[in-house]
Amino acid sequence: MNLLTDALPEEVEIGGKFYPIDTDFTTGIKFDLLASDEEIPENEKVDLAINLYFPDPPEDTCEALTAIRWFYSGGEEPRNGKKKGGFGSEKRIYDFNYDAAYIYAAFRADYGIDLTRKRLHWWVFRALFSALREDNMICKIMSYRAADLSKLKGEELKFYRKKQKEFAIPAPKSERDKLSAIDEALLNGGDVSKVLETYNSM
């Protein structure tokens, strides 16, 4: 698929039939947030995602989810088997909730686009997002989060460690609960290994 020469998709083929799909960038953002929400059971995410994208949901949920993944990725296959977003994603270096203001400001600064007023096809939004100038705050923040601290030393390590702490994406509730249980066990002489075993089995 060539963004410059091919028409942007407005529908996807599922079981030999074409289904209109919601192409607005806000739907892609909602899917991203849904996929990363650890408080929603995986089986519920599938139904929610299908209803989010399809005004007339296909009966084949497996094929529908495959089509959603393809559309969400901009028609690209994940590199090295890694997904930047969606179910089972790798480490996230941006969050559409937590970083919303930074992303809005970057689009306004670079492209003059007011994301609260402009309707963009998801694939166009992805392309513009990936090409934001490095001096935008959101790009700096993503570089801080992406930094591999194990490869840094001295003042550089100290700098990036500080920045990662400053701009850390809030942990999901399950992780906060786990850390809280560990703290409680440490303070009250409990067995931390049992706490870890309990949460790791969940």
Measured in residues, the chain has a length of 202
141 CB contacts (<8 Å, ≥6 apart)?
94, 99, 102, 167
At how many degrees (to 10) do helices 173-187 and 192-200 cross?
Answer: 160
| CA-wise closest residue to 193 among 201, 182, 184 | 182
> How would you label 50-67 residue by residue, b for 16+ Cβ within 10 Å and e otherwise?
bebbbeeebeeeeebbeb
The tens-digit pLDDT sequence of the chain (202 residues) is 889 999 999 999 999 999 999 999 999 999 999 998 888 998 899 999 999 999 999 999 999 999 999 999 999 865 444 443 334 446 789 999 999 999 999 999 999 999 999 999 999 999 999 999 999 999 999 999 999 999 999 999 999 999 999 999 987 665 545 455 555 656 666 665 654 455 455 4
What pLDDT is stored for residue 87 in this prediction? Answer: 42
**Tokens 């203001």 -> residue:** 101
